[in-house]
Copies of this chain bind each other. A is one copy, B any other.
Amino acid sequence: MAASPDREGLRARWARALDPELRRARGLSAVNRAVVVLILASVLTAILETEPVLRAAGGRAFVVAEGVFLAAFVVEYLARAWTATVNPRWPSLGAYLRSPVALFDLAVILGVLLPFFGMEASLLRLFRAFRLLRLARLGRFSQAMRLIGAAVSGRGPEIGVSIGFAAGLLLCASTGLYLAEGGVQPEAFGSIPRAMWWAVATLTTVGYGDVVPVTGLGRVLAALTAFTGIAVIAVPTGLIAAAFADAMRAARSHRRGGGEGRDDDGSDRDGG
């Protein structure tokens, strides 16, 4: 505050620009918006890279893109570490580096290096998919996500009861079809766990049709399952929709309340 006010001010300003928790204005800072775009672009690249046809066509471009994303995420990691010392949320640089947030960032950076070495196909798939974890970093920037999580967990008992209902119905349907069709189609209905695959497809009304009952009794039970399923599935659906509506209302009033009282930054606010 006395020796190098300019540099200290720069660090503090960067800390505010990088950490959404410190930001007093509504919305994300320009820096974090760039990080979000970078994460989305890198995830899109990782998705496309899993497709053999695209990998064969644009192999070099993927390597270059991965290099650019890697460099950008390293720079971001270092910038966050640099500003951690002036961030009141972290007592010391070491505390920040050992925090789950920073360790996750480091793991995601190091994960990129893994698939460059030769390895077995299924492991390679795993490491390719690993890059998609970058997407989880977005959660940090989204207040809505946090409020929705709180609202859904606030309806815990209701959702729990309705999941119990759905599970009971799933078990009844599987047992019924196991009894009705177990002898005729042993491959599809020869045990309750096997019959569950059919029951899930029917209760959720997905209805792949790869496994269907063929006996009269099996079809009557399937019809009952399909109709009851609609009713039972409706309940958690309604509860989650209501929880979401509550969360959005809470988010709106929170934003309004938060934006009015403490507005000393005001750089890029968009209205009241």
Point out residues on A near B: beta carbons under 8 Å: 43, 47-48, 50-52, 121-122, 125-126, 129, 132, 135, 144, 148, 157-158, 161-162, 166, 168, 171, 175, 178-179, 182-183, 190-194, 196-197, 200-202, 204-210, 212, 219, 222-223, 226-227, 229-231, 233-241, 244-245, 248
Q: Judge whether A226 and B197 touch: CB under 8 Å.
A: no
Q: How many copies does the complex hold?
A: 4
Of B190, B223, B240, the contact of A200 (CB 8 Å cutoff): B223
Q: Judge whether B241 and A235 touch: CB under 8 Å.
A: yes
Given known A-B contacts A47-B192, A125-B178, A193-B50, A248 and B158 have beta carbons under 8 A apart: yes
Q: Judge whether B206 and A226 touch: CB under 8 Å.
A: yes
Q: Judge whether A121 and B210 touch: CB under 8 Å.
A: no
Q: Which residues of B contact A179 (CB under 8 A)?
A: 122, 125-126, 129
Q: Judge whether B178 and A129 touch: CB under 8 Å.
A: yes
Q: Which residues of B contact A175 (CB under 8 A)?
A: 129, 132
Given known A-B contacts A157-B248, A158-B248, A162-B244, A182 and B234 have beta carbons under 8 A apart: no
Q: Judge whether B240 and A51 touch: CB under 8 Å.
A: no
**When A and B form their complex, which 8 residue pairs have the shortest distance between CB atoms, in order from nearest?**
A206-B207, A51-B191, A208-B209, A238-B241, A234-B237, A204-B226, A209-B209, A50-B191
A166 to B244: give the CA distance in the assembly, Å. Answer: 13
Nearest chain B CB to A153 CB, angstrom units:
14
Q: Judge whether B171 and A47 touch: CB under 8 Å.
A: yes
Q: Judge whether B235 and A240 touch: CB under 8 Å.
A: yes
Of B125, B208, B240, B244, the contact of A182 (CB 8 Å cutoff): B125
Q: Judge whether A204 and B227 touch: CB under 8 Å.
A: yes
Q: Which residues of B contact A122 (CB under 8 A)?
A: 179, 182-183
With A43-B171, A125-B178, A234-B240 given, name 14 new contacts (CB 8 A). A50-B191, A135-B168, A144-B161, A158-B244, A161-B248, A162-B244, A201-B226, A206-B207, A208-B208, A209-B209, A209-B210, A231-B236, A237-B241, A238-B244
